[in-house]
Amino acid sequence: MHTRTLECARCGLLLDWRQCKRAAFARKPPQLRKGDGCLGKNCCKRAARPAMREAAQRKYCRALEQGERRLVAWPDSAEDTDVWERPVGARARIVERLRARYGYDTDDGEE
């Protein structure tokens, strides 16, 4: 569960599966919406500062590339517990797109 990563259904940024579920269950009754748990400026009421959002995206990209996290499909509902891993090609395209947008993790020594 701690390694599940989603692509935001609204803006395409990467986010943690648990954060998505937490946001959905904050509503009564629980309801999953596009953008739940995302740090994107158009997805969250309290959007992250740009530097925080960029650092998070670099971290997710790096973890996906190194196999520390898995890219999974967006849940069908708040109660959906079935986890479907997305194809390697989808993961590569998302990481490539976000790396082009946010650059490389400074931990790798690259800029």
pLDDT in tens, 36-87: 999 998 887 766 688 889 999 999 999 999 999 999 999 999 999 899 999 9
**Percent of the chain whose predicted confidence (pLDDT) is above 70:** 89
**Conformation bin of residue 49: beta by default, left when phi > 0, alpha when psi is -120 to 50:** beta
**Does the N-terminal peptide bond of residue 29 adopt cis geometry, omega within 30 degrees of 0?**
yes
Give alpha helix (H) positions in the chain.
Answer: 17-25, 50-65, 88-102
How does DSSP classify residue 77? Answer: S
Question: Residue 93: which domain range?
Answer: 4-108
- Count of domains for the chain: 1
Residue from 56, 59, 76 nearest 68 by CA:
59
* 65 backbone dihedrals φ, ψ, rounded to 5°: -65, -35
